[in-house]
C-alpha cells in the first residue's frame, strides 16, 4: 500500500473516531434544551460526558494535524475555502467548553442558564456544520487550476450539503439520547430512550435519503454496500432501544455513524477535494501529499503512539462506566 493511501485511511479513521465520540457529546448538549427538567437533571446530563468530552475532542486535533502534515495542499484549500463554517464550528466548540467548565463556578440561576445556552449553541452549530462541510467535500466544490477554492459561504449551502447537515444533527441527537440511556437510570433514562426513538424515525429517513443521493452521485458498489450497512446498523440500534438493550442501541448508532463516514471517504477516494469546475483540477492523494520521507516518518510515529492513545482512552471509559442516577446528584 502506498503511503498516501495509508494516510488517507488514517485520516478517515480519525474522523470516524471523532464523529462517533464527539457525536454523543453534541447529542447530550442538545438534550439540555429538549429533555432536561430542572437543575439536577441538567447536572446529570453534563455528568454523563464530564469525564470524557475533552478527550473526545483530541481526535479532531489529531485529524487536523495529520491532514496538515500528510496533505498540506488539502489542508490549505480546505481551511481557506471553508474558513467561515470552520470558524463558526470553532466558536461553537469554544463556547461549549466555556459553558461546561464554568457552569458550576457560580450558583446564580441566570449564570447557569446562560451556560446552558452556551452548551446547546456549542452543540447544535458544530453538529449541523460538520455534516454540511463533509457533504460538500464529497460532492465537490469550485476549485480552480491553482488548487484554490473560488466559491463563497453560500456555495456550501446547497441541498446536498444541507441534507448532510440535517443528518448529522438528528443522528447525533439520537446517538446522545442512547448514550444517556446507557449512562443513566430511572426516569431520565426512560425519557432519553423515548426521545431518541422519536427523533430516530426522522433521522433514519434523512439518512436513507442522503445515502441514496450519495450512492447515485458516486456510482460505486462499495458506497452502496457501506451505506446499506449503515442503515442496517441504525435500524438495529433502534430495535435494541425498543427492547431495552441500551448497550446495543448505542453500539448501533455508533456503527451507523462510522459507516456513513466510511461511505463518504470511500466515495471521495482517490480525491481529497474534488473540483466541480474541472475534474483535472481536483486535489488527490497524489498531488496534495507531502514528500515520501515526511509520510514515512509520520507512519512510524503513528504506529508507535496510536495504540497508546487508544488504550488510554479505552481505559478511561472503563473507569467511568457506571450509570448515574439523580440520587448521585446532590440537591
The phi, psi pair for 4, rounded to 5°, reads -65, -40
Count of structural domains within the chain: 1
Instruction: Check pLDDT > 80 for residue 1.
Output: no
Grid cell for residue 50: 464530564
Instruction: Check pLDDT > 90 for residue 207.
Output: yes
- The answer as to whether 22 is a domain residue is yes
Q: Is 130:163 a contact under the CB 8 Å cutoff?
A: no
- The answer as to whether 331 is a domain residue is no
Q: Is 29:123 a contact under the CB 8 Å cutoff?
A: yes
Distance, in Å, from the CA atom of 69 to the CA atom of 59, rounded to the nearest integer, reads 15
Pick from 2-6, 151-155, 205-209, 306-310 the range whose average pLDDT is largest: 205-209
Q: Is 167:204 a contact under the CB 8 Å cutoff?
A: no
Percentage of the chain lying above the pLDDT 90 cut? 49
The phi, psi pair for 284, rounded to 5°, reads -120, 175
| pLDDT tens digits, 142-172 | 888 887 888 887 888 899 999 999 999 999 9
Q: Is 136:107 a contact under the CB 8 Å cutoff?
A: no
Using 50, 70 and 90 to split pLDDT, how confident is the model at 39? Answer: confident
| pLDDT tens digits, 240-287 | 999 989 999 999 999 999 999 999 999 888 889 898 888 888 889 988
Grid cell for residue 55: 478527550
Would you call 276 helix, strand, or coil by DSSP? coil
User: Residue 317: which domain range?
Assistant: 3-325
The separation between CA 156 and the C-alpha centre of its own chain, rounded to angstroms, equals: 18
- The answer as to whether 196 is a domain residue is yes
CATH number where 133 lies: 1.20.1630.10
* Nearest C-alpha neighbor of 48 from the set 60, 62, 66, 36: 36
- The answer as to whether 330 is a domain residue is no
Cβ contacts of residue 219 below 8 Å, gap of 6+? none
- The answer as to whether 253 is a domain residue is yes
pLDDT of residue 171: 96
| pLDDT tens digits, 98-122 | 999 888 888 888 898 999 999 999 9
Amino acid at each position: 500500500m502506498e503511503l498516501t493511501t495509508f494516510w488517507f485511511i488514517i485520516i478517515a479513521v480519525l474522523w470516524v473516531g471523532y464523529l462517533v465520540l464527539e457525536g454523543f457529546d453534541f447529542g447530550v448538549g442538545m438534550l439540555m434544551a429538549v429533555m432536561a427538567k430542572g437543575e439536577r437533571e441538567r447536572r446529570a446530563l453534563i455528568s454523563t460526558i464530564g469525564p470524557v468530552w475533552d478527550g473526545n475532542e483530541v481526535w479532531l486535533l489529531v485529524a487536523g494535524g495529520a491532514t496538515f502534515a500528510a496533505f498540506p495542499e488539502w489542508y490549505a484549500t480546505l481551511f481557506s475555502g471553508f474558513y467561515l463554517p470552520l470558524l463558526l464550528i470553532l466558536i461553537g466548540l469554544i463556547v461549549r467548553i466555556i459553558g461546561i467548565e464554568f457552569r458550576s463556578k457560580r450558583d446564580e440561576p441566570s449564570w447557569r442558564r446562560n451556560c446552558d445556552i452556551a452548551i446547546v449553541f456549542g452543540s447544535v452549530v458544530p453538529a449541523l456544520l460538520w455534516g454540511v462541510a463533509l457533504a460538500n467535500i464529497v460532492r465537490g466544490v469550485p476549485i480552480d487550476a491553482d488548487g484554490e477554492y473560488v466559491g463563497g459561504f453560500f456555495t456550501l449551502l446547497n441541498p446536498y450539503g444541507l441534507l448532510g447537515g440535517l443528518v448529522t444533527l438528528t443522528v447525533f441527537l439520537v446517538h446522545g439520547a442512547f448514550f444517556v440511556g446507557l449512562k443513566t437510570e430511572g426516569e431520565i433514562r426512560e425519557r432519553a430512550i423515548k426521545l431518541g426513538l422519536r427523533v430516530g424515525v426522522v433521522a433514519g429517513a434523512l439518512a436513507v435519503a442522503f445515502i441514496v443521493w450519495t450512492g447515485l452521485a458516486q456510482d460505486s458498489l462499495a458506497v452502496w454496500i457501506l451505506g446499506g450497512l449503515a442503515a442496517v446498523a441504525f435500524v438495529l440500534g433502534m430495535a435494541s432501544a425498543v427492547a431495552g438493550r441500551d448497550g446495543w442501541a448505542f453500539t448501533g448508532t455508533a456503527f451507523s455513524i462510522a459507516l456513513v463516514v466510511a461511505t463518504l471517504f470511500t466515495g471521495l477516494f482517490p480525491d481529497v477535494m474534488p473540483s466541480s469546475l474541472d475534474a483535472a483540477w481536483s486535489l488527490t492523494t497524489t498531488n496534495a501529499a507531502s514528500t515520501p520521507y515526511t509520510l514515512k516518518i509520520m507512519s512510524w510515529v503513528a504506529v508507535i503512539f496510536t495504540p497508546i492513545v487508544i488504550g488510554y482512552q479505552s481505559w478511561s471509559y472503563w473507569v467511568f462506566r457506571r450509570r448515574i442516577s439523580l440520587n448521585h446528584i446532590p440537591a
